[in-house]
Structure 1
Amino acid sequence: MLADYLFLLDSAVIWAILAVAMFCYGLLIELCFINKASSIWYKRTQYWVTCIKTTLASLPLLGLLGTIMGLLATFFRMSQENGFNIQEVISGGIAEAMFTTQLGLIMVIPGLLMLSYLHAKMNRWAALN
């Protein structure tokens, strides 16, 4: 069953989504949970917040890019097959296209939640100091 989906690992867009998400998650985990709130932490967090927002916003767009690439690959394969095994060609391409969209959307949600927590932590620290 899992072997049926290994073809998805050939997609550069999937790897890009995972790399961007891990970069954001690493920063967010460090800023939210590992580092203790201080003036240095606050300045560092202010420095990274805009970058994190922008990078998180790129995740659904990368998913959309993967969708377009998957659909283009499907249409290209359909033109090459000339009607032979057309159902297999379509289902594989559509699966890749939909998976990248789903992955981009799923990966942004935890990041947005941690970013919201980070903003609340920053506001609390700023109010107390």
Structure 2
Amino acid sequence: MISMLTDNLVCWLILAAALGSYQLLLQEWLLLRSGNWQQCGQWQQFNTVLIASMPLCGLLGTIVGLLSVFAGLASGDSGAAELSSGIGDALFTTQLGLSCAIPAWLLQSLVNAKLARARVTHQHTQVA
């Protein structure tokens, strides 16, 4: 499994997007916890794009893996090991993309809800 990760450019793209996204989510969460909610939300749209790119990169990895399988079948020179390796790469990238994106979507929803509550609370204190 480690070789699938290190040898596959799509896996690195997914991990880079996940690292960036989780870093932005952590930054937003810490700002909210410290009471600096006014500084939050600057990167919200960019983070949404990062999160959405993870399963799409997983799909790209699926296509790349399946293309290698079909190329091996067409050439007739590939054995079962090469074919199963391509299928394994295809499935692994799909799994990696989804397993990085789903928690990020959930965390982003949590941060957005907390930010919305902070804004509503601030508006109520200004009106009163």
**TM score, norm. by length of structure 2:** 0.85
Q: 1:60, 1:101 within 8 Å by CA — same for their partners in 2?
A: yes
| Counterpart Cα distance in 1 of 2:87 and 2:81 | 10
Which residue in the other structure is 1:29 paired with? Answer: 26
Q: 1:21, 1:59 within 8 Å by CA — same for their partners in 2?
A: yes
> Which deviates more, 22-31 or 70-79?
70-79
What amino acid maps onto 1:49 in structure 2? Answer: Q
Which residue in the other structure is 2:40 paired with? Answer: 45
Which residue in the other structure is 2:67 paired with? Answer: 72
- Relative to structure 1, the CA distance from residue 89 to residue 37 in structure 2 (aligned partners, 3 Å threshold; closer, same or farther) is same
SS in 2 for 1:46: coil
Is the aligned partner of 1:99 residue 2:96? no
* C-alpha deviation, 1:77, in angstroms: 2.8
What is the aligned length?
Answer: 119
- Relative to structure 1, the CA distance from residue 19 to residue 120 in structure 2 (aligned partners, 3 Å threshold; closer, same or farther) is same
- Relative to structure 1, the CA distance from residue 105 to residue 119 in structure 2 (aligned partners, 3 Å threshold; closer, same or farther) is same
* C-alpha deviation, 1:79, in angstroms: 3.4
| Counterpart Cα distance in 2 of 1:69 and 1:84 | 16
Which stretches of structure 1, 4 residues or longer, exceed 4 Å deviation after superposition? none
Which residue in the other structure is 2:104 paired with? Answer: 111
Q: Show structure 2 runs of 5+ residues with no match.
A: 123-128
What amino acid maps onto 1:37 in structure 2? Answer: G
Q: Show structure 1 runs of 5+ residues with no match.
A: none
Q: Which has the higher contact order (CA 8 A, sep 6+)?
A: 1
SS in 1 for 2:40: helix
Which residue in the other structure is 2:3 paired with? Answer: 7
What amino acid maps onto 1:112 in structure 2? Answer: W
Is the aligned partner of 1:57 residue 2:55? no
Q: State the identity as a percent.
A: 37
| Counterpart Cα distance in 1 of 2:50 and 2:2 | 27
